[in-house]
Amino acid sequence: VVDTAQSMATRVFPGATSRERWDKTAYASCPGPLEGADKTSFRTHGLYLKAGRGTTHTLYAVHHGGRESVEVFTLDTQSAPPSLTWIGCAVAPDPIGLNAVIALPDGGLAATNFDPRPPAGATAAGFSPKLLTGERNGELWEWHTKTGWTKVPGSEASGANGLELSPDGKWYYVAEWGNRAFMRLSRGRTPVERQEI
């Protein structure tokens, strides 16, 4: 948590005030709370804060570690510093390499596959050749409690990086790092409508 007025940063997870309260209904496919190095060396990437009522909000955090996942927390801003309670996760299927994440208005979440991970046991040698040459190497994925992960049709991208959703939930906006492009993609429409600049 960054306090811009005091120019201070405070680690809140894992931390003395962080808690665990697994929501096994919403996150039944989650194997459980982070443990070992995944917890002590928690490596985040994309973050998304979904505003809640009052002082309690939902924080989605992309995690790279023993599991590639989106970890979900409730954030209580009433305490100082704010406190996090881990409530579940959505583990990405191989070889998805997560980057950005957003909450969906109809429940669930969406995330970008920036650069697929190498097979288990293989040494990662940096970015993939496809990404470095601007070829399409990843895509968008949605996750819902009942259906799990599904690829978003027509979302193939080169280094799908930043991700946002229109307020009405009908359009994705994706920054493509690999080919220095920006994509607008319809959501839930057949046929898919896509524009790139």
**β partners of residue 63:** 44, 69
Residue type, 169: G
With tokens 């979904």, the residue in question is 50
Kindly indicate the confidence band of residue 40, based on its pLDDT and cuts at 50, 70 and 90: very high
Report the percentage of the chain scoring pLDDT > 70: 98
Q: Measured between alpha carbons, how far is 11 from 122 in angstroms, rounded to an integer?
A: 32
* pLDDT at residue 124, as a whole number: 66
Mean pLDDT of 171-192: 97
> Which range among 2-6, 89-93, 188-192 shows the weakest confidence by mean pLDDT?
2-6
Distances (CA, A) of 117 to 23, 34, 55, 95, 130: 28, 20, 37, 5, 13
For the segment 126-132, the average pLDDT, to the nearest whole number, is: 90
Does 129 sit behind a cis peptide bond, omega within 30 degrees of 0 on the bond before it? no
In whole angstroms, what is the distance from residue 4 CA to residue 33 CA? 30
pLDDT higher than 90, residue 39: yes
Total residue count of the chain as it appears in this document = 197
Q: Tens of pLDDT along 61-106?
A: 999 999 999 999 999 999 888 999 999 999 999 999 999 999 999 8
Within 10 angstroms of residue 94's Cβ, the number of other Cβ atoms is 12
Confidence class for position 119, pLDDT limits 50, 70, 90: confident
- Its pTM stands at 0.94
Q: What are phi and psi of 9, to 5 degrees?
A: -125, 140
Q: Residue 121 has what pLDDT?
A: 66
Q: What is the pLDDT of residue 180?
A: 97
